[in-house]
A and B are shown apart, each in its own frame.
Chain A
């Protein structure tokens, strides 16, 4: 462990030999295409699929009514965050009303995908448009159009939480800063779109579902709940999966449909999402409006924090929709210690694509609000942003410590991370350069932005998860078996889709058993092959699943040691284990390799009394606490004040995820995470018009940055082990996405502060930045026009100027 072993996964991936779901071709397989609503809200007044049935290659076509009996559970939401949460029935195909653009009206099954798609044009359908609600504030107003008439309200839930005496903290404060932030909707873009192949299992009474998912085990349960097919008749396989970022932490209507259609038609059924469907019908991320207030002393000590949050559910609840904001709620206080904190979260239905977990899921929003408002406090007090942060950091600790959010952070040393990142970036030098550019009136200004974050990983302690409203069950399983030939199989309940578990789990195993990583094969993602597990999301895999592997290896070694003692005719206490060899203390010549012990265990011809044959151990690890990685970032922006173009010149990140098992993989996770965080800050955002039409429906309009938009990242780490698990590891999958957005936006505001700019929304695309400069300079007449042009399109995600009220 600790070495940059090349990823085992890569040769297949880069030479086109990966096993994607779309590569699966089975005899007699049929394909389906879905007729999707072009309206955000409408009654279906007439629907006739018979025309499609006459088209070449078409085998079947169904309406929602035709299939309604097949899905008693509908599309399942597994989260209940309050007792009175409103959970509408979510049909895979609607029967009478469409509720967002992309909602499904009919399905056509044909001999290939092209024919199915062509035949959709022969389905006869009439819509009667209904009133549409696209923004949360309107949705909560009296008399607003209702997304679900039968619920009588657009409010899905309302959840207050308070720790300490917030009113008192605000009464005592010298200063109070108030800010208003918008988390725009983001569209996840996994390189592999969703795909599913379902078939009747020829061997016995049941079904196999191959699907591009992060959660094969959850899918097995949820598909059973949706369709009523007993869980033990469903086998789910996640073959190679090309990224997810949360978007595949779900069980979608198309997966249910594939299963139901193979049940009905008897042949294998395939569906592969195209990119337009990805944009409309895969979950979106973020979609929040945050009102935050911070109370502090004149010296910059924080006394309390208040947050009001609106979270956009979209039209329906997907698997975890309502729990995304609550799961980040306790993280708003971030890396700062103070006594009083309150938050109130409202979930709101709109006629837009459902939202759900997207890389970071609740924590980027929390870190963003906290790190933006601490900069606002620094501006208010005219203090250096680094200084205000340092004033409020926890003293370094390595035992669980209470937080204002009511959690217990595991371990932290923010001072070390902050020192290192400021040294790395040459903070003083940057400030000098900034000063010079300001004095020279350089059209390109320099901005320096901080973020100091912590996040919650290692989902999670089962009890704590139950408290969050998702039932519990946060443990992870591993099965480690040394085979008769001395090779090792590790079966894990985690389900990698790009993270490199095959490599990392091999390293953990190789270290524990004294074999090489190449001796180890990691099995995952097939519910018929691996022990029941809890899959991959929330930076949980290493800190929970990797630990299960480590502990299972220890069990293997413990047992092997007993057998080695027996074979070497020594007392177990005298056996030493080093580099894969058991030897007798003091006489190293008396030894036996773990492979020989393994073979002997399987032969079982001569094992100690009562010992079971084999070297095959299972472990389930349920962690005592979450893990809390943390870090300090500095973003250096160049902002062209004449054009509004903001560009990341340098990005310095010092992250602490505890001990590192594979530095290459950790750096890769950080690079990708930072890229996604910068993407939210500067480029990406789903834009809807007031009728609920998605205006950013393709990669031409939706601004995913490419390599030229990103800097060379300068990374370093500090290492503060977690007491939550025996390896001390914390998780790193989402760190970059959480740390980057506030650092970027803080840097832009810093660059433009001489112009009077105090606020910037995301994404900070050129026109928005340029407008902000014009507004701050009082060129309002001109810029009003720009706002009208751009802002109307973004009515749901923008509330221009509110933060300037304070």
Chain B
């Protein structure tokens, strides 16, 4: 519970952070809310020699309406995302999910950029952003680029981010009145990591399903889209949900650990996908 000694630098701007990353090289780590990084440092599973603190970059805390989509600054804390009116009105699933990450103290420190950059497939927000087909804006020494959620998450705790890049913003689509959503999280304790999570975003027309996008938490080394379910639901009636959900585990490779076996996770993914889509249809 006592981390290895490290140096500490405060980034005054995104450019400054990138410069510091270049200067200190591989052993440097960015820190935002610290609620993923510090726990693993305390267990000595990570031992960066320098921490570069982004937490004072107030200009990266915002939610903006940009017409088609909402832009959320990377340093926006989970609690502020949860309480934000634009988020609640146009992309409720993001606000809802931000409100069930860990406990209140986690939500008051942790940031949306941090949880995505960490790339933990057990994190709730990655699957939600994947189901929304959101994008991330990242900046490095050569300027800015955008990357889609599906390209961003590459492997367990591994993303498309270069060592000298910073996540600046997350963009999520504004959902219309005919779009229902649900994020269902199955965990042993309510403030725990998900054993399985299912994000469902469902376009409805005349009581039927137009299309659906399903993101799965903890079902592989990255957040996963349940494409077999998405296909089966395309144009389906509500009666078809149960059967479609039965293929939720297709193509998944969940881990076996003390919380759940891979088989149990697959079973839960099927049940939870059914319940998530049903909930989305009613929202």
Contacts and interface: CB of A to CB of B under 8 A. Distances in A.
A and B form one complex = yes
Interface in B174-195: 186, 188-193, 195
A276 B43 contact: yes
Contacts of A683: 188-189
B69 interface: no
24 contacts: A114-B2, A275-B1, A276-B43, A643-B271, A687-B258, A698-B43, A700-B39, A700-B193, A701-B258, A706-B190, A708-B189, A708-B190, A708-B191, A709-B189, A766-B186, A766-B188, A766-B260, A767-B259, A786-B261, A786-B263, A789-B262, A789-B263, A790-B258, A793-B258
Interface string B186-213: 1011111101000000000000000000
B189 A703 contact: yes
A317 B261 CA distance: 35
Interface in A573-608: none
A113 interface: yes
A270 to B, nearest CB: 14
Contact of A276 (B1, B264, B271): B1
B43 A643 contact: no
Nearest to B270: A642
A31 B4 CA distance: 17
B267 interface: yes
B93 to A, nearest CB: 21
Nearest to A787: B261
A118 interface: yes
A789 to B, nearest CB: 3
A724 interface: no
Given A113-B2, A785-B263, A706 B258 contact: no
Nearest to A117: B2
B272 to A, nearest CB: 8
Given A114-B5, A782-B263, A642 B188 contact: no
Interface size class of A (residues with CB under 8 A): 20 to 34
A193 to B, nearest CB: 9
Contacts of B112: none
Given A642-B271, A789-B262, A709 B1 contact: no
B260 A767 contact: yes
A642 B271 CA distance: 7
B216 interface: no
B193 to A, nearest CB: 7
B88 interface: no
Contacts of B192: 703
Interface in B226-282: 256, 258-264, 267-268, 271-272
A274 interface: yes
Nearest to B3: A114
Interface in A175-218: none
Interface of A: 113-114, 117-118, 274-276, 642-643, 645, 683, 687, 695-696, 698, 700-701, 703, 705-706, 708-709, 765-767, 770, 782, 785-786, 789-790, 793
Interface of B: 1-2, 4-5, 39, 43, 103, 186, 188-193, 195, 256, 258-264, 267-268, 271-272
Contacts of B268: 643
A765 B195 CA distance: 12
Contacts of A793: 258
Contacts of B263: 782, 785-786, 789
A294 B96 CA distance: 52
B28 to A, nearest CB: 20
A113 B188 CA distance: 35
A672 B190 CA distance: 19
Nearest to B262: A789
Given A643-B186, A698-B43, A706 B5 contact: no
A136 to B, nearest CB: 21
B111 to A, nearest CB: 20
A767 B2 contact: no
A687 B257 CA distance: 11
B260 to A, nearest CB: 5
B191 A706 contact: yes
B1 A770 contact: no
Nearest to A700: B193
B264 A786 contact: yes
B193 A696 contact: no
Contacts of B1: 274-276
A705 B103 CA distance: 13
A695 B256 CA distance: 13
A767 B261 contact: yes
Given A643-B272, A770-B267, A790-B261, 17 more contacts: A113-B2, A114-B5, A643-B186, A687-B258, A696-B258, A703-B189, A708-B191, A766-B186, A766-B188, A766-B195, A767-B264, A782-B263, A786-B261, A786-B263, A789-B256, A789-B261, A793-B258
B198 to A, nearest CB: 12
B188 A765 contact: yes
A790 B259 CA distance: 8
Contacts of B261: 767, 785-786, 789-790
Contacts of A642: 271
